[in-house]
Structure 1
Amino acid sequence: MFDTGGNVMKVLLTGATGYIGTAVTDHLTAAGHQVVAVTRGAEPQPGRGWHAQLVGDTADPASLAGLVTPDIEAVVHLAPPSGDAEVDTAAIEALATPLRGTGRPLVYTSGVWVLGATGAAQEVGEEAATNPVGLVGYRPRIEQRVLAEAAEGVRAVVVRPAIVYGRGGGIPAILVDRARTQGAPEYYGEEGVRWPTVHVDDLAELFVAAVERAEAGSLWHGVGESTVPVRDIARAAGRAAGVLAAPRVVPVEQAAETFGPLFAEALGLDQSVSGAAARTALGWRPSRPGIVADLLAGSYRPVEVFGAPEGPETDAEVAAIARLVAEVEHAQQNELVDGFLEVFRRADPVWTTGHGKRLSGFDEIAEFTRKVLPGATAESTAVYDVERVLFLRPDVAAVNVRQQPVLPDGTRITDRPEGRPFYILVKEDGAWRVGAAQNTVVA
C-alpha cells in the first residue's frame, strides 16, 4: 500500500480484464484511485471494482480516440502488444496525445525479455542495452516511443515486469499443467536456465508507485527475485500438479512444437535482472513469497476449506497454514531439529508418531526429535501437501495433510505407503503453530 497524499486519480486502464490488469485494478482502488477500464465489448462485468467501463481495442487504435478525456488523470497501458509495430505505435499516439502538456502519467508495460539472455552478467539494471528475442523484437522501439513523450509534457514511464506469478496464474500455471499432462515437470532451453520473477500483487504495487510518483522519462524493472533456477520452479510446479518426478529439460527446438518457436525461445532465456532501482527510488517493497514457495504452498495448490467464508482473508490464512506445513517438510528433509521444533506451540503440544508413540509436552517432543531426526533422511524423506483445512475457530484449524515418501531427489517411492498427518493448529501472536499432531500411515 502506498500513500497517495490525498491525490485521488481517475486512471484509464487498458488490459483491465487480464491477469495483471485484475491485480492492478485491485491495488489502484485499494490506494484510493478510480479505475476506468477499457474493454473490447460493452457487456458489464460486475465485481471488477471499476469506476467506469469504456469500449476500445488497442488493436484498433482509432477506437481509442476520445477515451482520454480531460478528467482522466493517468493512463496505464497493460494490454498486450498486437504483434504489429505500426498498430502499437498508433495506440501509444492515441493514448499520449491528450496528455501532452499536462504532466499526467502514461505508464507502458514492456517486459524483461527485451534484454535477451544476460549471460555472465549478474542482476543487470535498467541501463543495460536491449537485445530482444523474436517474440518482443520491436518492443524496445515502443518503449523509446513512450519515453519520448516526456519531452511533450507527459509523465511517460515504462515498467518491465519479470516472469509474473501468483494468484494461480501466469507462465507457472502452464508449467503446472504441463507437469500434470506429461507426467513429469519440464522446463525449456539449457540445464542451468534462470528466470527473474515477480509476484503479480507486488508488480501491481509497482504500477501504483509508477502512477503516483515515477518521474517523466523513467524506466523500471519489476523484479522481485533477480534470478531463480527454472529447474527449481519446474520441480515446484510438479508438486503443485501432484507429480513427484525429477524435472526434465526440453530443448527449445522440441518445445517449439508445443509453444511455437517464438514463445519457446523466450521460455528458454537465461536471465539475471535487478529490481533494485524501483526499491530505492520509488520505495517499492515486494513482500510476497517467492515463486517456488508459492508453487509449493500457495495459490497453485487447491485446498478444500471449511468453516470460514470465501475471501482474501481466508485465503491468506490458508496460505499461512500451508507455509507452516512447508516448514515441517523443510525441517524434516534437511534434518533441522530446531526448525522442526519451531512449528510446535510451547504450551502442552501433543504428537503421536506414525509408529504410534505418544509424546506429551514440548520437552518430550524435543527430546525425541533430537534422537531420531539426525540421520533420518539419508536414504529417503517425504513431502507434505495440505489437502483440507477446517476452521474450528478463527484461531484454531484442523488440517489434513498428504505425506508421500520420496527419494532425496524428490522422486516418489512407489512401494512405500503414504501417510496422512492430522494437525490441530493454533494461532498465537499472529502465527500458526502445531498444538496437536498425529501421523497415520495409510494401509
Structure 2
Amino acid sequence: MKILLTGATGYIGSAVTEHLAAAGHQVVALTRGAEPRPGRAWHAQVVGDTTDPASLAGAVGPDIEGVIHLAPPSGDADVDTAVVEALAAPLRGTGRPFVYTSGVWVLGATGGAREVGEDAPTDPIGIVGYRPLIERRVLAEAAEGVRAVVVRPAVVYGRGGGIPAILVDRARGQGVPEYYGEEGVRWPTVHVDDLAGLFVAAVERAGAGTVWHGVGEPAVPVRELARAAGRAAGVLAAPHAVPVEQAAEVFGPLFAEALALDQSVSGAAARTVLGWQPERPGAVAELTAGSYRPVEVFGAPEGAGTDAEVAAIRRLVAEVEHAQQNELVDGFLAVFRREDPVWTTGHGKRLSGFEEIAAFTRKVLPGATAGSTAVYDVERVLFLRPDVAAVNVRQQPVGPDGGRLADRPEGRPFYVLVKEDGVWRVGAAQNTVVVG
C-alpha cells in the first residue's frame, strides 16, 4: 500500500517508517517543509502541518491507500477534529484504512483491576483530556466506509528514547534515580519497534471501528524502571520517590500527573486477533543493558546486523550477572563453550577446560553473594572476526539494595566470545581487580 504517514520524522514515526518499508509498503511522509530528508525510507513527501488543518487539503490524494496519523495532538480539540476530517474525508466509501494514534492514558488509573482491555471505559487524565472525543470521532468514520482504527500505545521505550530517557537524564543530573508518586506505581510499556509492528498489522488487517492496545508489558513497577535508568546513567543507588507536587515543578502539573499514573493494561487482543508478536527485551532489560547505554564497537561495519550482534553479546553478559547475583551454578556454566574454555578468576586462579571451571563454580558460587554482589556493563566490543569478539566489561560491587559499595574494588572482566551455532558463548575469560 501507499500510506500517508503523519509524524514520520518523530521517535515513533521513524520506527513505523522502517517497518512499513520492510513490509513492502510505500511511505508518503507528511512534512512541514519540502526539503529532502536523506536516509529516510520514504517513497515521497507531501507538505502539510497537522496544526493547520487547511494545509492538509490534497494531502490524501487518490493514490493514497491508507493513512496512519502519528503526529502529536495540537492541544486544541477543534483543531484535532478538523485534522481528522481532512485526512479521513478522502477515504470515505473506499474501505481504506485510517489509523489514529491515541494512548493508554485515556484509561486513567486502573486501580486494582488486572490488565484492563480495550472494552474498559475511558477516564482520561488531564494531559489527554479530550483524546476520547477524538477517538470517537475517528471510529465514527467506520459508518462512512472508512476502515477506521485506533491504536493506544503504552509508555514507549527503546532506541534510547521515549519517556524512559527522561528517567536516565534525571538520574544522571540528580545523581540518584527517581520515580514519581507512590512506590507501587506501574506503567504499561512497549518497545518502539514492537509498536511499529502493531501499526503495520493495524493498517493491513485491523477491522473497521476497532481499538487496540499497544502493550508489550502490562504493568512494570516504575521503581524498577528508575533503578534500571540509574544503571544506564551510571548511577548505582536506591531509587528515590519524588512527590507529584515536587515533580510538577520540573515537568508541569499535567505531565507530572501522567508520570505518577498507576496502570495495568492488557495488549492480549492484538496478539490474539491481529497476530501481533512483541519480541524485544522488556523495558527494565533495555534500560539495563540496551540502547540507553551505548557501547563502543570496533572491527565491524555499522548497521542492523552489527547492532543485533552487540545486543546478543550484552544479553550474554546480562546472563553472567543474573547467574552471579542469584548464585545459579547451571546458569553461569551455560555461558561457557564446552570445548576447552579457559578462565582466570579475579583472585588469579587459572582454570582450564569446562570440567575444571564447573567444579570451581560449584564450590565457590553458592553463598558467594551473602553480603554483596556485582553488576556487569559492556563497555567495548572488538570483532576480531564475525564469530569472535573481544569484550571489555566493567564490574561494580553493589549491596543488597543495588547501591555501589565504595569500599570494594571494581573488576575489569575481559571476555573472548565465540559464536557457535548462532549463539555467543565465553571461550576465554580474565577478571582483573582494579586497584585504586
TM-score, normalising length from structure 1?
A: 0.98
Aligned residue number for residue 311 of structure 1: 303
The aligned residue for residue 403 of structure 2 is 411
Q: Report what 1:290 is aligned to.
A: 282
1:188 paired residue number: 180
Alignment of 1:121-132 (within 5 A): 121-132=113-124
Deviations 1:217-236 (A, max 9, x none): 00000000011111111100
1:10 deviates by 0.2
Q: 2:76 aligns to what? A: 84
Q: 2:25 aligns with which of 33, 36, 42?
A: 33
Mapped partners of 1:103, 1:110: distance in 2: 21
The residue type paired with residue 31 of structure 1 is A
Per-residue CA deviation, residues 83-136 of structure 1 (Å, 9 max, x unaligned), is 000000000000010000000000000000000000000000000000000000
**SS where residue 46 of structure 2 aligns?**
strand
Letter in 2 for 1:386: V
Report the residue type matching 1:210 in the other structure: A
- Per-residue CA deviations over 1:131-185 (Å, capped at 9, x if unaligned) read 0000000000000000000000000000000000011100011100000000011
- Give the match for residue 155 of structure 1: 147
Query: Is 2:109 the counterpart of 1:142?
Result: no
Matched, 1:273 2:265: yes
Q: 1:400 aligns with which of 385, 392, 403?
A: 392
Secondary structure class of the residue paired with 1:345:
coil
Match runs of 1:247-266 below 5 Å: 247-266=239-258
Tell me which residue corresponds to 1:69: 61
1:299 has 2:284 as partner: no
Alignment match, 1:338: 330
Task: Name the residue aligned to 2:424.
Answer: 432
Report the alpha carbon displacement of residue 43 of structure 1 after superposing the two structures with TM.
Answer: 1.4
Q: Which residue of 2 aligns with 1:364?
A: 356
Instruction: For 1:58 and 1:378, locate their aligned partners in 2 and report how far apart those are by CA, in whole Å.
Output: 58
Equivalent residues, number: 435
| Aligned counterparts of 1:288 and 1:281: Cα–Cα separation in 2 | 20
CA distance, structure 1, for counterparts of residue 156 and residue 417 of structure 2: 32
Partner of residue 319 from structure 2, selected from 327, 331, 334: 327
Runs of 4+ in 1 over 4 A off after TM superposition: none
Residues 97-136 of structure 1: pairs in structure 2 closer than 5 A: 97-136=89-128
Secondary structure (helix, strand or coil) at the match of 2:151 reads: strand
Structure 1 unaligned segments of length 5 or more: list them. Answer: 1-8
Displacement of 1:319 after TM fit? Answer: 0.7
Q: Report SS of the residue matched to 1:63.
A: helix
Q: 1:208 aligns with which of 200, 217, 222?
A: 200
Q: Which residue of 1 aligns with 2:41?
A: 49
Q: What residue number does 1:373 align with?
A: 365
Amino acid at match of 1:285: Q
**1:40: Cα distance to partner?**
1.0
- For 1:432 and 1:171, the matched residues in 2 are separated by 32
> How far 1:249 sits from its partner (Å)?
1.0
Q: Which amino acid aligns with 1:51?
A: H
- Is the partner of 2:63 in helix, strand or coil? coil
TM-score (norm 2): 0.99
Shift of 1:415: 1.7
Deviations 1:274-318 (A, max 9, x none): 000000000000000100111111111110000000111111110
Question: Residue 351 of structure 2 aligns to a residue in which SS?
Answer: strand
Shift of the alpha carbon at 1:416?
Answer: 1.5
Cα separation, 2, equivalents of 1:81 and 1:416: 50
Return the alpha-carbon distance in structure 1 between the equivalents of residues 81 and 234 of structure 2.
44
What SS does structure 1 have at the residue aligned with 2:427? strand
The structure 1 residue matched to 2:343, chosen from 342, 351, 354, is 351
**Helix, strand or coil at the partner of 1:400:** strand
Give the match for residue 6 of structure 1: none
Q: Give the Cα–Cα distance (whole angstroms) in 1 for the partners of residues 421 and 172 of structure 2.
A: 38
RMSD, aligned α-carbons: 0.5
1:359 to partner: Cα distance: 0.5
Deviation at 1:373, TM superposition (A): 0.5
Structure 2 residue runs of 5 or longer lacking an equivalent are none
